[in-house]
Structure 1
C-alpha cells in the first residue's frame, strides 16, 4: 500500500491526503454526534424511568399498605399501557409478586427498582422496564444521514483539489527541499527564483522567513525557558486552546489534579470537553464557544471528572491571547479547585432551607403525630388482645378496651396514671394463684428485657397469657413496658378436646382400642411390681349383626350407646371400660382380689339382658357373652392375655350365650390359641422377611373393553414352600384380630406408591383398606407424605373401602374418605349392596365409585332377582354421580347384561386373573 502510494504524483497525493483527512474528521464528527445523541437519549430515558418509578411508588403506597391487590393491578396495568413501559412488576414486603404487567426486558432496556416506603416502613418495591430500542433506531438514522452528507462533501472536495493542483508542484518541490533542509536544522537556506507571481513571492517570503526564523528561534528558546519556569510550577491547571478549540499546551499540574498525563491530554482527548461532568457539559460548551470568540471571563463554576472516576468543582478563568501583531491566537485558561467552597455553599443553602421549613415541618409533624396516634388507638382498640403500656415508674400510660373486658374492669374507671398494682386490684376477676402473679409482676417491672409467656389461671376457668416487651426509643433508651394479654381458654379447651378424641370412641365416648392397649400395658407392669393379678374381660352382643341387618345401623348405634351407658355404671373408678370396635367391648380390672372379676361379669350379663330397648316401636332384647382371662395365670404378655379373653368369650357363646366364662385351657382352646398365635407369628415374620407380594387384576371399561386401572391384591409366600402362595382369606381375618392388618395396609400402600413412582406411564392402581385402618388418624398424613416424596400424582392411587367396614363406624369412615379425597386420591366403596341400608348410607359417604358385591353378579343371567337389585344399584349410583364397578364377571353373557344395565367398569376372571407380572406393567406396554 505504501509503495503504491509512493508512486503517485504530488497532485494525487495532496488530493488523497486531503480527502483522507476530511474523511477522518467527518468520521470523528459522526462518531461524536452518535455518542452525544446516545448519551442524551439515555439520560432522558433513565430520568423518565426514575420519575415514573417514584410516581408509581407514591401511587402504590396505599394499596400495598392495605394489601389491595386489585387496586395495585389496575394502577400497574394503566401505567404500563399508557406510560410506554415494557414491563411493570410489584412485590410486597414479603417478596410476593402482587402483580406484573408486560414481559421481561432485554439487556439494552432500562430497568429501575423503586422501593415503596413511608415513615421508615418498607411496603414493597416496584420494578420498571423501558425498552431501549428507540436509542438504536435514533442512532441508525443519525448515522445514515451523516454518511450521506459526508460522501457528498468528499466528492466535492476531491473534484476541487484535482482541478487546483497543477504546474505549481515543481516549484513547490524546491520549497519542499528547502523546507526539509530547515527541518533538518540547516537554517542558512536561501532560495533563488523570487518573482512577482505567488510562488515567486512565496520563495521570497520563504527566504525572509528563514531569516526571521533564525532570529526568532533564538529568542523563543530564551522565552520558552522563562515561560516554563513560571507556567509549569503553578498550582492550577493552565492550558492554551487554539481559536478552533484545539489544545495546544497544558502544564504538568493536570496530572496532579486530574490524573491525566500531558501527553494523554494533547494526543487523545478533546480537552477540556471530555473531562467536564456530563451534567455540566452542555452549559460549559456554550461558555467555551463564547470564550473562543475572543472574550474573557472568570469564576465560571463547573464540575471536572478525574481519571479515577471522581469529580470536583473548579472555577474557570480565561482570556484571549494575541501575538505581537495583535493577531488572535486562541485563549489561555486555568482551572482552580473550589470544592471546599462549593461544599460550604451547599451547607449554607441547606441550613437556610432547613431554617425556612422548620416551622412548617413542626406543624406537619404535630398533625401527623396526632393522626398516627388516632390510627394506633383505633388499631389497638380493634385487636382481640389486651394491650397495656406501662411507664418505667410502673404507671399505666395506655390500655385498650379489650384489656378492661378481659380483666373485668368497669369501662368508666380511669386507669391512666395509676400504678399497675392498683389497676389490677380494680379487676372483678379472681386469680387462682394471686401470690404467684404478684411475684411475677414485681419481677417483670424490675427487668428491661422480653419475658417468656406467663399463664394466668382464673377461678372462673379462664386461662390468660401475658407477654412483656420492653419499649425503647430510637437511641435504645428504655421508656416502658408493653404487656400483651390473650385469652387462650378456647384454644386450651380445643386441645384438650383433641386429646380426648384421640383416645375415645366417637360413638360411645368410651376409651378406644389404642388407649385400652396403653392402659393394659401399664396395669400389667403395676401387677408385676405389686405381685398382684389383673384381668381382661371381653364381651360382645349376641346376634348384633341381625339387629343391624334387620333394623339398620341407626338401631345398632343406639343400642351400643345404651349398652355403654349401662356398663359404665357398673365399673369402678380404677377399672377401664373400652369399646374395641363394632360391638366388641373390654374391661380392664387391676389389683384383683377373690372373685371380683366373676362377680362383675355376672352383673354385666344381667344388666345387658335387662336393658329395655325400643326402636321405632319395636321392643328388642339383647344378650351378651363375656370372657375372662387373668394375668399372670393365663398369659405372659398383653397379646396372649387379650387372645385368651377372646377365646373365653367364644367359650361362653358355645355354652349357650347370655353367660360368662373364665378362660379354660382345654384342647380346643389350646388349638385355637396356637392357631391364632401361629398366624400372628407368621404374619409378623412375613412382614419382617418381605414374604408379602402384590398381584394385579385389571379393571376394564364396559363399553369398549379398554383397561381403566389395576387392583392390587396382597398374597403371602409360604416360607417353607416358596413356590406356594397363601391367599388373603387365610390370614386377613387373623391379621385384623391381632392388629397387624394396619402394618399390612401400610406395606401395600408403600409398595404401590413405589411402583407408581418407578413407572410413570402405567395405569392407576387401586388398593384395599381394612376397617381397622379407617380409625387411624395418622394414615392420611403418611399416605400424603409418601406421595410427595415419591413424586406421584395422587389421582393415580385409588382406595377401596368395604361397605361393612364403612358403616360399622360411619364417622371414622367419613373422616378417612374426606382426608383421602383432599389428598386427591380416588375412593371406591367395595362390596356394595351386602348391607340392609346400603342406599341410605350411600349419600353420607362421598366416594367416587361403588363396586357391586360379587354375590349379585355370580350367575346374573339366570337370577332375575339379582338383575333387579343390580339395575337398582346402578340407577341409584349413577343418579348420585358415582361410577359403578361390577366384579366377578366370569362369562360373556354376564358382561353383555352389565353393559345393558349401564355399568361403567367390569372386573373378573372372564377378563383376566390376578398375576404378579400383569401385562400393563411390562416395559413394552408402558412405552407403547
Structure 2
C-alpha cells in the first residue's frame, strides 16, 4: 500500500512534535516534583521546630494533658499526619495522628532543649497527598495542552503537505503517462516556485524525449530501408562469431532467411579452408578490438554453387565500453572475381588462339629453369616461325590469316601434348616448352610439328594453302640460365634453320651463341648506357610481410626498372645479365642506392626499411664499401633501415671480397640477406662463411609449394636450419593462399609475392586481408619487406 508523501510528512512532523513535547513534559514534571518535595521538607522541618518550641513548657511542667492537647491541635494542620513527644530516655509521653496511614509522608525530628539541656524529642510526619494531587493536576493540564498542540501541528502539516505535494502529484501522473508511451504528455503547474521550475524541466525533458524517439524511429526506418534495399548483407555477431542480427539480403546472397542465421556461427557458412583462416583472423582482431576490411571468403549457396564474398566489420561496444561483438557489411564479389580471373586469363593468353602469351610463357619458362637447376632435369624450348606467312596475309587478308593461325595452333597443340606448354609469341611466332626433356626430344617434336603442318589439308576459301615453318631448339642448362636468354638462343637457332630453307629445324650450338650473344649484348649495352645517361633507372617497391611477429616497421624490396626510348618499362631480369657482363651493374647499384637513401630520408617513411640487391661486381669493386658508407652518412639514414641482398652466385664468385664487405658493413649496423638460397648445391655451407642476418628461400621452392611434397620438405629443412642459426627466413614468389598458409605453418618469418602485394612505384602497404593470412600471422596488417633491387 502506497502512503502519500503529504501523509508521510504530517506523520513525521507529528511524531517529532510528540517526542519533543513528551520530553518537555517529562522535564517539567520532574522539576515540579522536586520543587514540591523541597517545599514539603521545609514545611516538615519548620512545623517540627514550632512544635518543639511550643512543647517546652508542658514538658518541663510534665503536664501531659496540655502536651496531648498541643499535639492534637497540630495534627491535621500543616498537613501533619502524625506527631509524637518522647522524654530524654525515649519514652513516649504523648502522640497524635495515624502513624500507619496508606499515604507517603516526609519525616522531621527536633530536640526539646532548655539552657543547653535536652529534655525530650519531637518526631513529626507530614503527608505527601497534597503534593501528589498537585503534581497530578499539573500533569493533566500539560497533557491537554500538548494534545491540542499536536493536533494543531498535524493539521498544519497536512495542509502544508497538500500545498507542497499537489504539484508533485501532477508531475507523477504526467511521468506515468510518459512512461506508458504518451510522448505528448505535458504538465500544467502555474506556481513560480521550485515546483514550477520542476514542471518546466519536465516539459522540456518530455519534448526532448519525444524528439529523440521520433529521430530514433526515423533512423530505424532509414536503416531498415537501407538494409532491405541495399545489395549488401548487413550483419552483427557476438565475440564468438554467432550471428545476432542479419538483414534480409542474406537470402539473396546465400539462400538463408535471417531467422535461420540467428545464433549460427558465421564460420559455419564458409568453405572449410576459408573458415579456418577467418576464424583465426577473427580471434586476432577480437583481442585487439580492431576493425577489419576487405576479407574475402567463399560460401556455399543453399541452392547450390559457391559465392565469393567480401566482409568489412567494426567493433561493437556497449554503454559501459565493453567489447561485445562486431557489426559490418558483406557484399557479393563473385562477378568481380570472375571478371578479374578473365582479365588475368586475357593477360596470360593470346586472345586469338587461346595459347599462352609471350609474357606468361617467359614466366613459366623462368620457373621451369629454376626447378631444373634443383632437380637436374633439362628444359627444352622450341621457337617456331611460320614461313612466308606475311604473304598469306597480304594475299587473303588478315581475317583469313587469323583464322588460319587458329587452325595451325590447334594442329601444334595436338602434337605438343599434355604436360608441356605452347605459346603464341607474337605474329606468326610460336614457342614450345618441353618439361624434363632434352634437345633430342626437342628435335623429335620439331620433326613431328613440321610434318603435321606440311600434311595438314589447309585452305582459305577455295584455295589450298601449304604451310611450313622454321624451328629453333635450345635446352637448359646448355644454352642459358634465364628465360630471356634461352628464348633468344632458340630464336637464333630458328633464324639459322630458316637460313637453311623451308620446313627446317636447328638445335642451338655454342658456335651460334657467339654471334647471337654478341648481338644481344651490344643492344642491351647501348640501352643501359642511354638509361644511365638520361637517368632512366627507376624503382618499384614490393612489400614483404612479416608473418611471425610484430615488427613495428614496414619493409620493402627495391626493384630496379629501366625505361627505353619508347618509354617502355623493362624489368631487371631482361638486362641485368648484360649489365653484369659489361660492368654497368656497378653504376646501376649506385643509382639504386641513391634513390633508396632519398626515399628513406623522407619523414613519412620513417618506419620503413628498404632492401636492395648487390651484384658480385659491386662487391669486388675497390672503394665501393667506403662509397656506400659516405653516401649513407650524408643522407642521415640510419644503417638499420637498409638491408643488402647478396646472391649465392655473387658471394661465391667473390667470396673473400664478399666476406670482407659484409663484415665491414655489419660493423656499421647494416644487415644482409643471402638471396636465392637453396638453388646452389652448397647453399648451407655458405652460411658458415657469410655472416648474413637472413636467408631468402628461392622462389623455385615456393611457386609450387602447395602441390609439391619435395618442395615442402626442402623449405621446412631450410627454415629449421635458419632458426637454429638465429637467422630470419624470407619466402619469395608466394602466389597462392595455400602456399601462404603452408609457409606460416612452417614458421617462415617473412613472405613476399604477388598474392601478398604486387610491386608498385610507391611504398604502399598491403590491405589487412592480405597481411593477416595463416595461423602464424600474429600481426599482419603491416607491410614488411626485405629484398633486393632488381628481380621483378
TM-score class, shorter: 0.3 to 0.5
Between the two structures, name the one with larger relative contact order (CA 8 Å, sep ≥ 6): 2
TM-score (norm 2): 0.38
Please report the TM-score for the alignment, with normalisation by the length of structure 1. Answer: 0.33
Q: Which has the larger radius of gyration?
A: 2
